[in-house]
Structure 1
Amino acid sequence: MTQQPAHAERSLSALETEQTNPATSNIDLMSPLEIAQVMNNEDARVALAIQPELPKIAQAMEGIASRMRQGGRLIYIGAGTSGRLGVLDASECPPTFNSSPEQVVGVIAGGEHALTNAIEGAEDDPAGGEAALAALQINANDSIVGLAASGRTPYVLGAVVYARSLGALTIGIACSSRTPLEQAVEIMIAPIVGPEVISGSTRLKAGSAQKMVLNMLSTGAMILLGKTYGNLMVDVRATNYKLVRRAIKIVQLATGCEQEKAASLLDQAAGETKVAIIMGLTNVSPEVARAQLASHGQILRATLDDNHPSD
């Protein structure tokens, strides 16, 4: 069995996420408006806590993208709220970026049942985290993000130690400092959001911080992979009425054409937004547009720049 790193473990009460927040010590005596105000004030600290971690987030983005170019996957693993946040981010990548469901994966301690039910004991098993990644047959091209607000969840530690032993990129996200997770991973992202509104309830500020970091990691990696054109979601998968309308609008913005023309281009392109944009800007057939995209790694800007080189 893979051994976890030795360290002088801090007591639970010493963790930043477990401290008592003086701003909310009398929250049970507050009016509804005062509760909303104090929670809003505390939430405002989250983005500021992430700011010092931006260089590490950028490093992680590039590491994830470079491995994805080699066929690697982005795999989130966590327990409880942290695990649910990873599954959420992973599930939103296919419709947003037209990625395959296997490219970004969320793993939660306790399995699918844990998404809607608390299975607290599952987080205490380091062998469970290792087994979950072994079942995915991870390799050195994969990027593993261990999510644990406390930075000491055994399930997550077992997973990242195992992943690192195989040469995978390991990234940790926690909201406490000097944690076992920091010692176990290559890149540690630790926004210190301070004590929660309700002491120890890490679904609050810590959960918000983790969600924001995950947004950056997946979105940043996909941007680096050419999944956007400017800030347009050009790889959107139009799987419902709203997304069809969004795809039409994206084609309009990218080509300057009218709505009816954009809809026609999308129809000819079988719903492939990037193909429709190339057709609209260069007057080529869908087949030629697809071939041009393929020769430029599916990156729309590179394809268009090659068609219209600057003087």
Structure 2
Amino acid sequence: MRRRSKLRGRQLPLTERFNPVSTDLDLRSSYEIAKIINAEDAKVAPVVRRALPEIARAIDLIARALQQGGRLIYVGAGTSGRIAALDAAEIPPTFNTHPRMVQFVMAGGARALGTAVEANEDSRELGRREIAKRRPGKKDVVLGVAASGRTRFTVAAVQYAKSKGAKTIAITCNGDSPLEKAADLAIVTEVGPEVISGSTRMKAGTAQKMVLNMLSSGAMAKLGYVYGNLMVSAHRKNRKLAERGIRMLQRASAVSRESAERALKAARNQVPTALVMLGAQVSRGEAERALRSEKGNTRRALEKLEKT
């Protein structure tokens, strides 16, 4: 199901139109500029809220694919691509996943993360070529992100992935766009014209980041990479994260700091293992076996041991 825009037939995409609220922005005081931007940003969350049914469907689609050994591959260009790349980069340290699980394809490659490479956005051939390198297939989900919904690189990549059997999702801020039509499932957040006309790094970018946060966090929660609302699977590579791991064990298992520290040490610094050891009163080996059998899902591992 796709949400239909009420703006069909108009020439300019909504994100490219003039915003009367910010007329003479350059003549405003710093406070007035901040107030205008803040007021426009406040419109984003309600728009995203209207797309929650599609977002929920996308979470389920992604979780199923990852559960079956597939990948989530983001595709984008410019601001949209950078926001997607940021989300992909955060998944391994946050959830202790393999970098293969969530990937990104960026028009212009890694160089475009820090330098504008606008010309590549217009190449359908480059879009097909870059996604083809990842060999998308039936187990995978390819997610195209484009504020306008018209970026040729991204549209072509999504079309190619779909032709190879991958499930496809679109995130765009303009209804009835080529990207929306190319994907199996579209998430459309029509946030309206930008404070600086056409600068989609603003409201459109904020909406995209909000949606991506929900998709990746929601899928990881469904897969058991969190326990309750705790980041139990995160890497513990510095003092701050080690302390966070101890606090998580204290909170989740209702034990003292000393007990949490002992359990974490016995679990070789693996919070999920320590949590299962404490919760089910089992050895490290038993906890690790339960986690392996439940594909790392902490809650299911605990429930399995509690039934035995």
CA contact (8 A) 1:95 1:239 kept: no
Q: Secondary structure at the match of 2:143?
A: strand
CA distance in 2, matches of 1:85, 1:260: 41
Structure 1, residues 19-70: CA drift from partner, whole Å, max 9, x if none?
Answer: 1111101211111111111100000011111111111111111111111111
Q: Which residue of 1 aligns with 2:258?
A: 260
Q: 2:166 aligns with which of 165, 168, 179?
A: 168
TM-score (norm 2): 0.94
CA contact (8 A) 1:175 1:191 kept: yes
The aligned amino acid for 1:87 is: A
Q: Which residue of 2 aligns with 1:4?
A: none
Q: Which residue of 1 aligns with 2:204?
A: 206
- Any stretches of 5+ residues in structure 2 without a counterpart? 1-7
Q: CA deviation at 1:90?
A: 0.4
CA contact (8 A) 1:249 1:259 kept: yes
CA distance in 2, matches of 1:202, 1:33: 22
The aligned amino acid for 2:278 is: G
Q: CA deviation at 1:80?
A: 0.5
CA distance in 1, matches of 2:237, 2:75: 27
The aligned amino acid for 1:209 is: A
Structure 1, residues 171-229: CA drift from partner, whole Å, max 9, x if none?
Answer: 00110111011110000111000000000000000000000000011011111111111
Q: 2:95 aligns with which of 97, 113, 117?
A: 97
CA distance in 2, matches of 1:233, 1:181: 33
The aligned amino acid for 1:265 is: A
CA distance in 1, matches of 2:240, 2:224: 23
Q: Which residue of 2 aligns with 1:5?
A: none
Q: 2:289 aligns with which of 288, 291, 298?
A: 291
CA contact (8 A) 1:247 1:273 kept: yes
Structure 1, residues 252-273: CA drift from partner, whole Å, max 9, x if none?
Answer: 1111112222122112212211
Q: CA deviation at 1:162?
A: 0.3
Percent identity reads 47
Q: 2:41 aligns with which of 40, 43, 63?
A: 43
Equivalenced residues, count: 301
Q: Which residue of 1 aligns with 2:149?
A: 151
CA contact (8 A) 2:170 2:186 kept: yes
Q: CA deviation at 1:92?
A: 0.4
Q: CA deviation at 1:139?
A: 1.0
1:231 correspondence with 2:212: no
Q: 1:136 aligns with which of 106, 122, 134?
A: 134
Q: CA RMSD in A?
A: 1.6
CA contact (8 A) 2:290 2:305 kept: no
- Any stretches of 5+ residues in structure 1 without a counterpart? 1-9
Change (3 A) 1:244 1:258: same
Structure 1, residues 148-177: CA drift from partner, whole Å, max 9, x if none?
Answer: 100000000110000000110100011011
The aligned amino acid for 1:268 is: A
Change (3 A) 1:12 1:86: farther
